Structure formats: structure tokens, C-alpha cells
Structure 1
Amino acid sequence: MPRRNHTPDLMESQPGSHAPSPTARRVRVMLPLPFAGALDYRAPTGLDLRPGDIVSVPLGRRTETGVVWDMELRLPPEFIPPPMPPVAAGRLRAVGGRLDLPPMPAPLRRFIDWVAAYTLSPPGMVLAMALRTSTTAAAPRPAAGWKVADEIPPGLRLTPARQKVLDIARAGPPMSTTDLATRAGVGASVVRGLAQAGCLHEVVLPAPRAFATPDPAHAPPVLEGEQADVARALRDTVAEDRFSITLLEGVTGSGKTEIYMEAIAACLEKGLQVLVLLPEIALSSQWTERFERRFGTAPALWHSDLGPRLRRVTWRAVADGEAHVVVGARSALFLPFVRLGLIIVDEEHETSFKQEEGVTYNARDMAVVRARMDNAPIMLVSATPSLETLANVGAGRYRHLRLGARHGNASMPQVRTLDMRASPPERGLFLSPVLTDAIAQTIGRQEQAMLFLNRRGYAPLTLCRTCGHRMQCPNCTAWLVEHRARRILTCHHCGHHEAMPPACPSCNAEDSLTPIGPGVERITEEARATFPDARILVMASDTLHGPAATAEAVDRIARREVDLVIGTQIVAKGWHFPHLTLVGIVDADLGLGGGDLRAAERTVQLLHQVAGRAGRAEAQGHVLLQSYVPDHPVMEALVSGDFASFMEQEAEQRRPGFWPPFGRLVALIVSADTPEAADMTARALGHEAPRLDGVQVLGPAPAPLAILRGRHRQRLLLRARRNIPVQPIMREWLSRVKPERGARVDVDIDPISFL
């Protein structure tokens, strides 16, 4: 990571440039590049630069876009990195100019500094998430329109077509050539002819609003009892106009979305902006429909699938305060809100809120920080809150609101386990006869059923019956997954794929490659054979490419054009399928293996969410869990519906060892081109590991994915008591070790994945 005093060539004045005045004003400019901090420049005479201004600056022989930064970091003492020596005044280069863009608000600048310090990331890389090239591109030229001149040139021949154009132009606001011609029913040449004759003068048309203002009084819901009480409490929270954290916990189908939209309405009534974070973009279609019904217009969307133009328009609308409600993925946290009044994190327990590549951060946790920076309330919403959130509730840091009943006449589904040892499927199949009978009866009643298996493709493993060879990824220590529909084997970690070979690549035996275990494609194949007349829909990331395809699939289910839904994790999201009454979990034991700290918690959350798709209307819902360990605490919790007791047991297991949320974890992932470089760097880190009271370092050890994308990997894990700040410990530790050539050390504060 370069330091400012190590890169003089980037900042020295070029030969022939004017020498800076001794009194030249020094400014700090943060660039979206992996520097250790902001770089020093001088403000040109006559250019009044202030923190937040977006500017162009010279960097070496090129020009970069950056942000004028604050002179001092406003961070907790343990977060502040060691200071860097200032650059001499004589070496300062001048800022090129200020861009015609809204300045970056102070709360967002403080948030960027905080995220960088907390995650031990270069602040410029955090800034890059807030200042992308597409958002700083030149604004489109204003559209031109026409208005009638004060005087019509004498002698001008006014045909009926020309007269009609002039009459329409006089009667209304200025219009573009196309609009004016269309309204008058003439060709565009008639309009241009009048302009050339001096009858029409060109004017700049006002830019159309990018997003309509949602109306909080458009269609308020009728809420009673518990729902009305919780909605009133959320509105009161917004009215307090200060930072606070509220957990809204409600059983699946209790109307959490409609209720927290009342908090959005309260915020809109005050003229403030709202940010709603969703764990998956696929959720945005049904969520947006609900929003439009409530507020009469669509919200602004922010996610990676937006095109450059829409991304630029949305970014500017947020910065100008024109986008009142933004719903987006985790990157929406870094938008330049100017009057942020509320943040909502829906499905707060979802692990997809964790950014694993580049700057590693948990959007749920960082959303709390962003709310604090903007002095705004934040609401975390879930039917199965994370243990971290529940621990904060128990410590009194978060307020807790509950919804214990489903909306309307709906009741919670009845859940029971199917002991696969007592009711096994036929040889070569994966669905118990008890489950298939239940599906047949459900379809016979013209109700819908769902099968859930959190595994894409046809089979997770392919091996040779003759020699036992297993098809493995050449770039990762992972098995290749068969996708029979596309006749390929693929790695779900690096994306490598290859055609299914006709013979074993090891022993050349033909027709000997056999799929082991099921994926959703294989379950679909079995379901089509078992229910030949059923209308089957598969919902998986392989079959639904983007929000539009997901919205169409959801609409088909709602229109009752589907009898049986088969899906992966995407079906566990907050969908409302009123005619779906049966959910079958194909492999309820799937997430319980391995050494993941949160395996049981994640499994109960996921399966509870999937089960919550059943019986959301008047008809009773049923959930069948296929399991070989029906007495496992996870299965017992799902059957009893006692989520709170299960989480209390989880907490008691973690508390003695200071495992999260009762302790802190930091993962170090060493990767290198060669196993020797990875091993030597990991050993050096292990040798220099901190030896402090309340701190323990585990490892080094080969990562579960010992090779990923061709790089060899080792892991170390630092565990500390909750009251010990880990950032200064990590900075000191990393400063003592120089990675081997070709090796890299990635730091993951509060890791979620242990692969």
C-alpha cells in the first residue's frame, strides 16, 4: 500500500510549472485508488475549495477524479492509523478544477473514513464504491424547446399548418420540436421552418424529474391490533428525529413490509429521504409492486444491474434530494444522501449482506454506522433475527418490536419431520413416498406445492464407477457440478466449465461417469416423472436471469399457472404466494455439516424462511422436512416453532468461548501463486502473532478451499474478547510481516464465511 511520502513523482510540480506561493492553501484530495490516505494538493488562486467538492487533479501523467477531504479524521482513537508526514509545500501540485457535481456530504465522508478504518481497507477503495466513473460522467445536454416570438415577421405566409403550430405554442409551455409537431399534427420540418423564419425562439426546457415524489397519503393500509400498535411505534421513532436502532421481528406473513412502510410514510411527510436495503436484487420486483400500491409511484433502484445512464441519473437524483426513497443492494449504503431520515435493512439476518470481495464489510452492520453518521433511525427487519442482533437487544442497545401473528385469517404452517430412515425413497430417487403423496394430494386440491433444495445443477459430484476418479475443478479444490440441461460440468467458485466427457479422463472407461447426490435439476427430473401432468417451475439463479425473469416467475405463480415450484435459496426470500400450501424440504440436513460456527443458526433461519412460504392465506399450510437426524435441535426448533429458545441455546454454546457475538473474530487469508509462498507467508504471520491477554490466534492452516481460482490459500483466525479493539492489534501485527513475492494477505473483520 503506497504512502504519500513514498510517491513523490505523483505530486511534484512538472518542469515549467509555476512555483506555488508560500501561502498557497493546502487541500487534501481523496482518490478512488488504493492509497493509504488522501493526497496533498494546493488550491489554485481564486478557486475556493471546500471538503466534499469533487475535483480533477493531476496524478503522474494522467488526470483523476477525487474528492476534497477533511483535514482531520473524526474517528475513535483506536481506529486512527499512524499519521503520515506532510508533503513539502514546494512539491504540491495544483488541483485542476472543480467538477459540476453536487458535493459529497460530510456524513458520507465520515462514513467512508469509518468503514476504511474498521475494515483495515485503503480509504480510496471505499471511496470508489461511492464515486464511480459512471456517476461522474458529464451530465446530458439540456433539451431545447420553442416559444413564440414577440413579433411575427411581416409578410410571412401563414399556412394552416404553420398557424396551428403557433396557436399550440402560444397556448402552453415551451415544447421540443417533436412534441410540438406531434401536437399540431404536422411534420417536424414545419416547426423548423418557423424557427428559421424567426417566428419561434429556442429556449432551454426544464429537465424532467427523474423520480416522482411518493405520496404518503396515497393508499394507507387498514391496520388493527398488534399491527397498528407496531406501526404507531415505528412512526414515533421517525418523529424523534435522532439516531436509534429498532429490531422489527415478526413471523413470516405478519405484514412486516406493510408496517415498516408506515415508517417510510412518516419520513416522507417530513421531506426526508429513505434507504431500504434488500439482501437480493430478485426481491425488488415484488417489493416495488407493494411500494407502488402504497405510495402511487415506484422508488429509485440501485444495484449492479443498472446501466451507466440510469446509474448516473439515480446518483445525481439522490445527491440533489430528488430521489426520496431508494431500494437497493448493499452498495446503496454509499450513495450521497443529503437528508437521510431513515434506513431499513430487510431480512437483516441474510449472509448475502456481507461483501466478500474487495473491501469486505457487512452491510447490515455498516448501515447502523451510516445511520449514526446521519443521525437517523435505522430499523432491522426479520422473522429470524441474527444472534448478533438479538445480543444487542439483550444488552439494551436495540429496541425490540414483535409481531406474533400472521396477517388476516392466516395461521402458521404445521411443520413435521420425515425420518428418511423410516420412510426412505426408492433406490435412485430422493423424495420420500410420504412427501410425494402429500404433493399429489395438494395438487389434486388445486393448491400449489414447493420443493426446496439449496443446491444448483443436477448433481454436486460426478465420479467414475470403474476407477473412482472424481471430476474436480482444475483451479480450485472443489468438485465440478453437473448441469445436465447444458451438458456441462462447472465450478461454482471460479466459474470454470467444461463439456461432460464421454469417457472417464483417468481410466478412459466409457459411460462410467455417475452423478452422486441431487441438485434441483435432478429433483425436477424426478418430479416430472412422478407428476407428469403437473405444471412445474424451477426457481434458481441458473434459470432466472435478473429481476425481470424473477418477476415473471412470481407472476406466473400468483396467476396459478404453476402447480409445483422447485427452487434453491431464491425461494426462501419474502415472496407471498397465497395459493401455496405445502413446502417440502428435500434435504433439511444439508447445511449442518462442516465446521462453520453459524451452521445451525443459518440452517434454522433458511428453513424457517422457506417454511414461511406455506399457508399465507386462508388454507392451512404444511411443511415436511426430509431428515436423517430428526432429533437434531434445528429440526426440533422448526417443528415446535420456538425460534427464541433455539437462539438462547446457541448463545449459551458460544458465550463461554467468546465466540461471536460475545467475542471478536478477524480472519487472515493468505493466498499466493505457489504453495511455498503461501506457506512461508502464513508461517511468518503465525510466528509474529500477537500474544496478548484475551487474544488468541488459531492457525495457520490450509483453508477449506486450499486452492481458489488457481491461488494457494492458508488461513489464520484471531479471536479476542468483545471489549478489545482488534484494529490496532491487526495493524501492528501486519506491519511486522512482509508477504513473500506473489503472496497477498486479505483481512476480513467479523468474517461470515470460513472457506
Structure 2
Amino acid sequence: MSNDSYPQGPNHDTFAPGERVRVMLPLPLSEAYEYRVGADLRLTGGDFVEVPLGRRNLVGVVWGGGAGGIEEGRLRPVSSRVDLPPLPEVSRRIVEWVAEYTVSPPGAVLRMAMSVPEALHAPRARLVYGLATASPLPAALTPARRRVVDALMAGPPRPSAELVRDAGVSPAVIRAMVDAGIVIAQASDDSLPSPDWRRAGPALIPGQAAAARELCAAVDGGYRVLVVDGQPGAGKTEVYFEAIAATLAAGRQVLVLLPEIALGAQWLARFAARFGVPPLVWHSEVGQAVRRRTWRSVLTGEAAVVVGARSALFLPFPNLGLIVVDEEHDGSFKQEDGVAYHARDMAVVRARLGAIPVALVSATPSLETIINARRGRYHLLTLPDRPGAAPLPAIELVDLTRDRPARGGFVAPSLAAALAETTARGEQALLFLNRRGYAPLTLCRGCGHRMACPACTAWLVEHRLIRRLICHHCGFAVALPEACPSCGATDTLAACGPGVERLAEEIGALFPQLRWVMATSDTLTGPREAADLVRRIEAHEIDAIIGTQIVAKGYHFPLLTLVGVIDADLGLSGGDLRAAERTFQLLSQVAGRAGRAERSGRALLQTTMPAHPLMTALASGDRQRFLAAEEAARAATAMPPFGRLAALILSARDETQVDAAARALAQTAPRVPGVRILGPAPAPLALLRGRHRRRFLVHGGKAVRLSPLIRAWMAQVRLPSAVRIQVDIDPFSFL
């Protein structure tokens, strides 16, 4: 990503009745539409307004004065102003910046900032039910009424549905108690509890304290990017909690971005312990009512701290004072559907536009971040030590060419022995395999037929627990067949390769008494399931966790002393330019789960390539040697961060149509010194969700601005409406 200058954003003039205004609508439109201010209105830039569009009325945002290019008689008046504070100027500027940089319609980016249409309208008053205090309780109560009284005496007034659930009664009991004057209904106080920044946090060791002082000093100091680089278990969270406290003390809002916020149960508990109340949470699993309330409270400035997934970046903060991007290296921050953007990079832009600090936090910072720190654009804060007595876990390589698993198995004897020793001591283990399901491929031993997705260029993954074959790209699912669909033979379909379900089956057979749990996105579908998993592990109801990357980061379990990686080579295949870096980061993170408290830990990495530079760097703990090799390889080919990449992917249900569109685009490809355009070629996933895909890759030097070049290129070709084009500046996935 570049810090090149892009549009400086809309103005915020005042507009009197009869004047022209441009209104941006949350639709995939390339420009704002012009309207006339109604007779009874006075508007300012950023106001939410209702305007006619065709036969509908939509809510948009006043984006500035009209250009005057439309005849007066064709102008339609703004219908009304929505009773809300205006969209902050910095939010409008980030909308235009992201739209320009990602080659997206500004209206499509605005839709991300107005993602909860219901929040534009005042919520209905909620009724809560509490005990009447004006008169004493009746001497005699039925058991059901007694349960209601006990529930209300043990907690605050609450909505009827919650009271019914907590007391285990029917709604009729509540209504009868209201009629009898025992319970009263009253309007809910929806004010948000404020985090208490005065509460003391844990004592910091010297390295933490020094980093915390620098972070706190950056608050109210204008734009600055600070990189918090600390080994797993170094206490990075407690360091940036100090900066959050300083920001709250200054009366400003805070945004924390986490890659797996739906599963951040431990993080939320740590925040509540530090500040007395939980933060507001923003992610796809949050219910619509909570999203509505959160969006409005952010806009009004009532929300003090929001922790969220990448989409939280577009919440309308009027008084944002600090952004924290935790696990900044994580690929989950990259959005690839719709508007393709990287939340880490856009967080840096948002901080620059708002003149505030942003902290990028990671145990394994991305190469882009490290290079920016070396060049002085970012300020590096290093945490060299772990609090407590436990050192970093020892990382050992298990050579699968010599230490072979049993026939049909995937756990090497040395890892099985380490698992037995660890659990015999009353400690816990994590077995890591980054493959969901039972097996990644099912084929017929008779005719060789492979079970493939009909809508994607992908094999179907067997999920034996639910007896389904599932495509992990489009979600297509089918029941496990009894016979080969190609040759009709029975008992010939074979599962090839391991998934976590198959690993769990093997562990169950090797250790029948072991208490294990499987942790994947299939089993941890939201915060409630994640919180329950954390509780069970912390209570030592679990001996071994068998999981995917969902458990590779952020968790802290004092009894977890062994990590076993079943297939450490898994991420090294394919043509992804970041494959080695991602593998190094993931394996470092998962190994770092071991030995997080007073107990020392060890990590065993099963590999068929023990001499691979990545494996030797992991085993020796020499991160710098790996990064130096990775940097040299990228620099030699001018790949990011030493050059720039963009992808254009065309797709259509008709293969002939998408090929014709790709040829037309190729014929108008720009000829610019220092820019190479590769393609068109079938994308690695040439068929995805029933659409045929062709890809161009645009490669340029560091000084080349690809966004305007691609925008001008696309403007030369009028593609059929059936052909979609997706632009991805700085692509992370090459599928």
C-alpha cells in the first residue's frame, strides 16, 4: 500500500433552501447525485438525508455543493433530514480514499460505512420489568412468582423475554404480576457503561513498561504508526491496554481490530478485568439489534471502545483517538469480495486522515511492516522478554522420512510419545492441522474418479461427522455416496489425506482415555461456543485440543505445554508469493501457545523437508535469517513490498463470454514503462460458484500508482452486464 495523495474529501459547507447539494447514496454508484435543498431544510456536509431515487426514497449523505450541471427543472428536492449527527468528515474522506485506491465506486464504500440501515432511525423505547418498591411484597407467592421475585432481586430490571428465561416462567406470569402491582414496567436506561481507565493494570516488566510509555506518549501526538513487536507471550495486549487507558483519559474513542473477533473470548475477558466493563463488539455474529445500537452510539460519541473485525474500520467515529491492529500480519484482515481492501493498511490511512496514532501489534510482523519500520515510516517497539519464568518453547523438527507414522496414520511415534508424557504430567497439548473436515480428497480406487465440486475447480472435502462432502469455496454439499458416481462400484471410495476429524479419530484410537476436543470454524461458530471452549480448557476438562488456525493465535492456557504440528509443510505449496512468510508466521504463532506461564513448553513440527530454510529458521529461533532470505527473494523480483501488484479477475457464467471480454480488455492494455501486464489466463480457481474466471496480473515498480492506471484502462472497454470485473490492489490470495 502507498501513502500517495488521494482525494482530500468533501467539504462541509452549509446549504440553504433552494441550493444544490450532491448526495452520495450507499449503492455501487461512481458519483453523487444532485438534489435541491427543500424549502424547510438547512443542511450541512455529512448530514444524513432522505432523497427520491426513481420510485423509491433512500437515505444518503450530503457530500457537498452541487456542480450545476443539471437543469433546474429536472432537480428533485431532498425529502427530509434524518435526525442524527452528520457523518464525520474523516469518515467521508476515508470513503473517497478507499474508493480511489481500490478502484471501487464510492457508493459501494459508503455502504460499508452505512451497513446498518435500521440504525438511521431512532429505536423504539424498550420496556424492562422490575420489582415495585412502593408497596411490600405479598406474604404468599406461588412458586412461579417467587422465582420471578428472586430473579429480580438478584439482578437489574430486564426485558420480559430475559425475565421469562431467567425465572423459568411463562409470559402470562409476568403479565399477572404487573396487573397485581408486584412488578412494574418501565423504560429501559440504554446508556452505555464507560470503561474505567483509572483501574490499575498488572505490573509490567521493564520492556513492557518502556513500550507502554511510548505508546501513551503518542496519544494526542498526531499521526504516528507504532509497531509493537514481541514474541508470543510477551504481554503485548497489556502494553496497548495502557495506551487505551491514556486515550480514554483524554476523552477520545478507541478502535481495536482483531482478526478472529468472533472467537476472542479470552481477549474480551481480559479487557473487562482491566477496565471493569466489556467493550462494544462488532462482527458478523453480532445480532442486528446490537449492531444498530453500536452504530448509533459510535456516531454519537457515546461508544468509548469498540473491538471488531475488519469492517469496524468503517464505523462513523467522530472522536477517534487511537487504532490498534492486533495480529497485524493476519490474512483475515484482507477482504477479497466486493470492495477489496486490507484493513491493516486502511487503518494506517484512517489514522493519517484523522491525525491520530495507530499501533500495529504482532509476534510475527509482516515483511511490509518490518520494511516500513526500517525505512523510518513506522516506529518499532520491541518486547524482548516474556513476563513470568517460562522461556520460549523449544521447537523440534520431526523428520517424517525417518520417524514414520504407523501405516494409515499421521502422528509420528515421537509426537505420540510426547503427547503421552505431557498428559501423564497433568498438562495439556495442542495438535494443529490446518485442514477442516476428515479428508481433503475422496477418490474411487476402482476407476480413479475424484469427487469434485460441480461449481468450482476444487475437490470436495469429506466431513465424516455429518456424512457430507462439502466444497470449502462455495458451500456446495452432498451426502456421502454409497457407490462411485462414475463407475458405480461400491466400497471403493477412499479418503485421501488427513483433516482434523481424521486426526481426532487417530488420537481417539491411540489414547482411548484422553479427553480431547476439536476446535475449528465448523465447531466454534460464534462467541458462545468459543467462550465455552475456553472455560472447559481452563477448568482442565480437556487434555488435548485438536484444531486448525482458529486456535493458533491469541489464546493463553497455563497448562498447555506441548504443541504438535501434524503437517508443517502444508502452507508451502502453491504459487502464493507470501506462502513461506505465512507459513513461518502461522507455525511461530501456534508454537507460541506452548509454555505460556511458569511451565516450559515444547513444539514438535512434523515435516518431510527438515532442511528447508524455513524449518531450520523455526528450529533455531532465527527469525532474522528467515526474513533476510524472504526479503532478498522479493527484492530480486520487485515483488511487494519492493514493487506493486494488482489483479483483475473477470467472471461470467458463460465461458465464451468471459473469454471474449478478456480479449477485449487485453487489446486495450496500457503500454507504460515499468509496468508488466500478465494474462489473461485462467485463474487457479478457474470455476468458482458457477462462474468462469480469467485473471490479469499487473506488476509495477514502487513508484508506479496502479490505481489510476487501472481505472483508465477499464474505462476504455464496455463489458457486457453478465461479465463482472473484480479489481484487487495489493492481492493476498492468488486463487
Q: What's the TM-score once normalised by structure 1's chain length?
A: 0.87
The 2-side partners of 1:88 and 1:553 are apart by 63
In the alignment, which of 34, 39, 42 is matched to residue 40 of structure 1?
34
Q: Which residue of structure 2 aligns with residue 111 of structure 1? A: 94
Equivalences for 1:313-324 in 2 at 5 Å? 313-324=293-304
Shift of 1:24: 2.5
Shift of 1:696: 0.5
Instruction: Give the equivalent residue in structure 2 for 1:699.
Output: 679
* Residues 288-299 of structure 1 aligned to structure 2 (within 5 Å): 288-299=268-279
Amino acid of the structure 2 residue aligned with 1:28: R
Q: CA deviation at 1:686?
A: 1.9
- Paired residue for 1:97, among 80, 90, 107? 80
- Change in Cα spacing, 1:540 to 1:176, as seen in structure 2 (3 Å) is closer
1:530-609 equivalences in 2 (<5 Å)? 530-609=510-589
Give the counterpart of 2:53 among 55, 59, 62. 59
Q: CA offsets per residue over residues 442-478 of structure 1, 9 Å max, x none? A: 1111111111000000000000000000000010110
1:212 to 184, 193, 207: 193
Moved over 4 A (4+): 142-146, 158-162, 175-178, 189-193
1:260 aligns with 2:240: yes
Q: AA paired with 2:214?
A: A
Q: 1:139 aligns with which of 110, 120, 123?
A: 123
Tell me which of 25, 32, 50 is aligned to 1:31. Answer: 25
User: Does structure 1 retain, via aligned residues, the 8 Å contact 2:262–2:283?
Assistant: no
Deviations, residues 166-207 of structure 1 (Å, cap 9, x unaligned): xxxxxxxxx9999xxxxxxx95447699x9xxxxxx9x96x6
Letter aligned with residue 578 of structure 1: P
Distance 1:521 1:160, change over 3 A: closer
- Number of residue pairs aligned between Structure 1 and Structure 2: 686
Distance 1:525 1:85 in 2: 70
Structure 1 CA distance for aligned equivalents of residues 317 and 701 of structure 2: 35
Change (3 A) 1:404 1:283: farther
> Aligned residue for 1:647?
627
**Whole-angstrom CA distance in 2 between matches of 1:552 and 1:161:** 38
2: CA distance, partners of 1:215 / 1:586: 44
| Partner in structure 2 of residue 422 of structure 1 | 402
Instruction: Report the equivalent of 2:64.
Output: 70
State how far apart, in whole Å, the 1-side matches of 2:400 and 2:263 are. 33
Tell me which of 203, 219, 222 is aligned to 2:203: 222
Deviation at 1:144, TM superposition (A): 11
| Cα offset, 1:315, TM superposition | 1.0
Change (3 A) 1:145 1:602: closer
1:372 to 348, 352, 356: 352
Q: 1:123 to 1:159 in 2, by over 3 A?
A: closer
Instruction: Output the amino acid matched with 1:309.
Output: A
CA RMSD, aligned part only? 2.5
2:3 paired residue number: none
Corresponding letter in the other structure for 1:134: E
1:127 — aligned with what? Answer: 110
Name the CA shift for 1:85/1:452 in 2 (closer, same or farther; >3 Å).
Answer: farther
Instruction: Provide, for residues 45-102 of structure 1, a one-character-per-residue CA deviation record: whole Å limited to 9, x for no partner.
Output: 2310111111111110111111111349xxxxxxxxxxx9832222110000011122
1:485 partner SS: coil
Note if contact 2:552-2:593 (Cα within 8 Å) is conserved in structure 1.
Answer: yes
Aligned to 1:172: none
Partner of residue 231 from structure 1, selected from 185, 209, 212: 212
Q: Which residue of 1 aligns with 2:731?
A: 751
2-side partners of 1:161 and 1:500: how far apart?
Answer: 61
CA deviation after TM superposition for structure 1 residue 563, in Å: 0.8
The within-5 A match list for 1:290-439 is 290-439=270-419
Q: Give the aligned residue type for 2:189.
A: P
Q: How far off is 1:231 after superposition?
A: 1.1
Q: What are the ranges of 5 or more consecutive residues in structure 1 without an aligned counterpart?
A: 1-21, 73-83, 147-157, 163-174, 179-185, 196-201
What SS does the aligned partner of 1:714 have?
A: strand
8 A Cα contact 1:451 1:586, kept in partner: yes
TM-aligned CA deviation for residue 741 of structure 1:
5.5
Offset at residue 107 of structure 1 (A): 0.6
Q: Secondary structure at the match of 2:358?
A: strand
Separation (CA, whole Å) in 1 of partners of 2:560 and 2:552: 13
Q: Which amino acid aligns with 1:103?
A: P
- 1:663 and 1:48 map into 2 onto residues whose CA distance is 48
> Percent of counterpart pairs with the same letter?
54
Q: Relative to structure 1, is the Cα distance of residues 44 and 504 closer, same or farther in structure 2, using a 3 angstrom cutoff?
A: same
The higher radius of gyration belongs to 1
- 2:44 aligns to what SS in structure 1? coil
The alignment partner of 1:66 has SS state of: strand
- Give, in whole Å, the separation in 2 of the partners of 1:210 and 1:315: 14
Whole-angstrom distance in 2 between the partners of 1:307 and 1:513: 42
Q: CA deviation at 1:293?
A: 0.7
CA distance in 2, matches of 1:532, 1:554: 23
TM-score by length of 2: 0.90
Structure-to-structure mapping, 1:179-218, within 5 angstroms = 188-189=178-179, 208-218=189-199
Distance 1:142 1:629, change over 3 A: closer
Q: In 2, are the aligned partners of 1:239 and 1:266 still within 8 Å (CA)? A: no
**Residue type of the partner of 2:472?**
H
Letter in 2 for 1:747: V
Structure 1 partner of 2:509: 529
1:633 correspondence with 2:585: no
Mark the runs of 5 or more structure 2 residues left unpaired by the alignment: 1-15, 139-156, 161-175
Deviation of 1:544 (Å): 1.4
| Separation of aligned partners in 2, 1:59 and 1:395 | 49
**CA deviation after TM superposition for structure 1 residue 740, in Å:** 4.2
**Which of 464, 475, 480 is matched with 2:444 structurally?**
464
Q: Distance in 2 between matches of 1:286 and 1:656?
A: 42
Does the 8 A contact of 2:220 with 2:321 survive in 1?
no
2:43 to 41, 49, 52: 49
The answer as to 2:638 corresponding to 1:658 is yes
CA positional deviation for 1:160: 9.0
Q: What SS class does the counterpart of residue 309 from structure 1 fall into?
A: helix
For the residues of structure 2 that align with 1:219 and 1:648, how far apart are their CA atoms?
Answer: 40
Q: Does the 8 Å contact 1:680/1:740 carry over to 2? A: no
